Amino acid sequence: MNRVIIIGCGGSGKSTLARNLSKKTSLPVIHLDKIFWKEGWVNISREEFNAFLKEELKKDKWIIDGNYDRTLKERLKACDTVIYLDYSRITCICGVIKRTLLNYGKVRPDMSEGCPERFDMEFMKWIWNFNKNHRDDFYNILKAEREKSVYIFNNRKDCNKFLNSINVD
């Protein structure tokens, strides 16, 4: 496990898992949201994002958290391990509500400076429809990944068991 991508709905805990997995493995973490957003919730250009991601993918070791469907196939090619957090919409909505309440007005470690946590109804709608709009595509893509280690978790308990089972010496 040297090149890991973590995908799943917003609020599923991708960034938290990335940080915790990094503590166990010493792999550096790349949060795609931190790359994509500039101060004031302004996104960078497609070209800037592509250039940054291309450089990161050349490295020998990393954990990349985030979906960004447009670049998923490129990240899949470069990774050796995929973790898909396939949680219910209620779990993810609750995750975002908790995250928002705990961090409201503050910048999370997985976000760019100048992007404080806020309540965003559009984001909540996106979460509500995430599984309907993305789950089948993710499963179809992952089904074809025979040379990768693919882990799919349907709840936090199973994901935490997996994380606790990792022993790196």
Question: Does the pLDDT value for residue 124 go beyond 90?
Answer: yes
Q: Which two tokens stand for residue 43?
A: 């996104």
Residue-level pLDDT at 169: 62
Q: Which residues pair with 30 in a beta bridge?
A: 64
d(CA 99, CA 7): 18
For residues 25-45, give the mean pLDDT: 93
pTM here is: 0.93
SS3 per residue for 29-56: EEEHHHHHEECCCEECCHHHHHHHHHHH
Residue-level pLDDT at 140: 92
Please name each of the domains of the chain with its CATH number: 3-165 (3.40.50.300)
